[in-house]
Chains A and B, each alone.
Chain A
Amino acid sequence: MTHIGMVYSRGRVEEKMLQEAAQRQGVQFTAVQDDTLILDLDPGALPFDAVLERSVSTTRGLYVLKFCGAHGIPAINRHAVAAACADKTETSLKLRRAGVPTPRTKVAFEQESALAALDQLGYPAVIKPTTGSWARMVARVDSRREAEQILEHRSELPNPVQQVYYLQEYVNKLGAAGEPTLHRDLRAFVVGDETIAAIWRNSPHWITNTARGGKASVCPVTPELHDLCQRAAAAVGGGVLALDLMETSAGLVCHEINHTMEFRNSVAPTGVDIPGKIIEYCVRQAKA
């Protein structure tokens, strides 16, 4: 029987749903908290046919995936994929290289050069950390003066990665018809060569993450959406991925790809067994 190991940090709703899905499918499933892991240069610490990486810590997850790769253990997702998704700069570069529409983006390391880059992008613009999630420290700036304030604060942060200024055009998202005051973007769930589901995220705030209060509603997976999602997923190496997209007057643009997706708020509106699909994919990827 295929033995799937799930490496995780915290038993969130998602991890419990994955555990339950494995039980429903009769898959041998072992949950290993990353707190307890002792990784070794020699194989043995992860005695599984495949590893589903669900660490809430991106850093820990990437190290776990390094060991999986070194020891020939199929991992969901592969280290190279996770690394590409964990850094927005790398994601953007890969999307652009693959010809996937993505917002105009620049990177700078000093306040002055960042301000010059923002002048080129024009205002409003968005300043983001190149790493991080849940829209932490993501700021929309409407003027040079606002940008100076954000950059001044960011420059004092101790982590040097925070001085990698990831600067992006502000995209005017098309909202839902009849809801002019709501911002809307789109999250699509890709599992291998399937785009299994998509939701719209509606929020009165321009940041629409469901972790920040955005409300999910089902979005049909059209052939156009599926095609774009597959191209975007392939750009970072494919696997189990959650893609964030925005609808613009010129079409869809992809601005972020997540490699340890949260899906608790998406199962009910879409009616898709997302954890079940992930477990099925893990079994397919497992060592024979």
Chain B
Amino acid sequence: MSQTILETAPLECPECAARLAITPTLAGEVLDCRGCGAELEVVSLTPLLVQLAPHAEEDWGE
């Protein structure tokens, strides 16, 4: 998982640098980059920051 948090204007995918047009309402929101399909996670709403979403842990589930 990338540890680099990019804050750019406009926001870019940390994987492929595609522009992200997002209006998240929850920290932790998960979204897919339309440029490369990478799963991203919103780590902060203010300021708006995204990073590559972590891989599922062993105890994740329903």
- Residues of A near any B CB (own CB < 8 A): 8-12, 15-16, 19, 31, 33, 35, 56-59, 131-134, 136, 159, 242, 258-262
B60 to chain A, nearest CB (A): 5
Chain B residues with CB under 8 A of A242: 62
| A-B pair number, CB within 8 angstroms | 61
Chain B residues with CB under 8 A of A259: 62
Can you list 16 pairs linking A and B with CB atoms under 8 Å apart? Answer: A8-B28, A11-B25, A11-B27, A16-B25, A16-B26, A35-B28, A56-B61, A57-B59, A58-B59, A133-B61, A134-B56, A134-B61, A134-B62, A136-B56, A242-B62, A258-B61
Chain B residues with CB under 8 A of A58: 59-61
Instruction: Answer whether residue B7 sits at the interface, using C-beta atoms and an 8 A cutoff.
Output: no
Take A16-B29, A134-B56 as given contacts and tell me if A11 and B24 are in contact as well, using a CB distance cutoff of 8 Å.
yes
Interface size on B, residues (CB 8 A): 17
Q: How far is the CA of A16 from the CA of B30 in the complex (A)?
A: 10
The interface bits of chain B over 50-62 (1 if a CB of A lies within 8 angstroms of the residue's CB, else 0) are: 0001001111111
Scoring B28, B30, B42, B62 by chain A CB atoms within 10 A of each residue's CB, the highest score goes to B62
B26 to chain A, nearest CB (A): 3
Q: Do B28 and A133 touch across chains, with their CB atoms under 8 A apart?
A: no
Instruction: Answer whether residue B12 sits at the interface, using C-beta atoms and an 8 A cutoff.
Output: no
Q: Do A56 and B60 touch across chains, with their CB atoms under 8 A apart?
A: yes
Which B residue sits closest to A135, measured CB to CB? B61
